Amino acid sequence: MITVESLTRRYAGFTAVEDVSFTAKPGRVTGFLGPNGAGKSTTMRVMVGLTAPTSGSATINGERFADLPNPGLEVGVLLDASAQHAGRTGREILVIASDTMGLPRSRVDEMIELVSLTPTEAKRRVRDYSLGMRQRLGIATALLGGPNALILDEPANGLDPAGIRWMRDLLTGFASQGGTVLLSSHLLHEVEVIADDLIVIGNGKIVAAGTKEELLAAAGTLARSTSPRDLAHALEQAGIPSTLAGDGSVRTDADATRVGAVALTAGIALTELRSAERAGLEDMFLSLTADTQREGVAA
């Protein structure tokens, strides 16, 4: 279990993270989403003791990272795959990490095999690794100590399609065995497939948190009609706010039954009426973070 409580981090008058609270639960993959500069990395850095909080706390299995006697046995961390020592070979990096944690050397070869680095690649210096190979090495390091929690910043970064599929299976498998996975990613399709729970942050504050089903269901209802303006008007008359999208669809937070009833009363034929859930995570993300997007995108 990863718990963040009332976490605030300020830099010289600038608030990067403000009063952020959430939990990532065992047995679940939690996706941590937000536009560039929203505060994801800062929050994750506080979790693993790389940045001190201005106030509030982050704990892993009830303990602050700095208080864990052998942190690698409790939590696997991958924040920046390119931050590994470039002059060392992949194998050397794993050997050093394994010795530091007091693990048998056999773990190193197990991990190299697990992340599908070939023995030749493992003997190559990290400076000559591709981004995807660094990412695999980072995952190997994170899993080395057999932790029950993982904190991963953009783990799919640089992976090829087969690598992304492999990462997905690895993380869902880890969670299905009771592990806690917290991952940040800008690959919304990937998060939509893999995550059970979602935390959305914008401008340093949590803008939404819940299960994926809850958050996507909260997208409301989508209706189409041959006369969408009349439908939007009828909804407005019934006290139901709606938006008329450029593609002629009418969206509202009201449930489908109410929208259907209003259309029937107004004598408007609907050509489509469904939960807007299918709009997907990308639409939800853009609408939730519209105020905090640099591009000012609206859903």
Residue with tokens 């697990």: 114
CA distance 92 to 102: 15
298 near ligand ATP, rule: CB under 6 A? no
Residue with tokens 């401008």: 203
11 near ligand ATP, rule: CB under 6 A? yes
Rounded to a whole number of angstroms, the minimum distance from the CB of residue 17 to ligand ATP is 7
Q: What does DSSP say about strands 55-60 and 75-78: parallel, antiparallel, or unpaired?
A: unpaired
User: CB of 198 within 8 A of CB of 192?
Assistant: no
38 near ligand ATP, rule: CB under 6 A? yes
CA distance 82 to 135: 8
User: Per-residue x/- mask for ligand ATP, residues 39 to 58, rule CB under 6 A?
Assistant: xxxx----------------
The one segment of 8-16, 95-103, 246-254, 289-297 that binds ligand ATP by CB under 6 A: 8-16
Report angle CA 228, 234, 238 to the nearest 5 degrees. Answer: 145
User: Per-residue x/- mask for ligand ATP, residues 89 to 118, rule CB under 6 A?
Assistant: ------------------------------
Rounded to a whole number of angstroms, the minimum distance from the CB of residue 161 to ligand ATP is 22
Nearer to ligand ATP, 43 or 141 (CB): 43
The one segment of 9-17, 52-60, 76-84, 243-251 that binds ligand ATP by CB under 6 A: 9-17
- Reported as type and span, the H/E element at residue 200 is strand 197-202
Sorted by sequence, the CB contacts under 8 Å of residue 205 that are 6+ apart come out as: 18, 19, 20
CA 235 to chain centre: 35
140 near ligand ATP, rule: CB under 6 A? no
Q: Which residues bind ligand ATP (CB under 6 A)?
A: 11, 14, 16, 34, 36-42
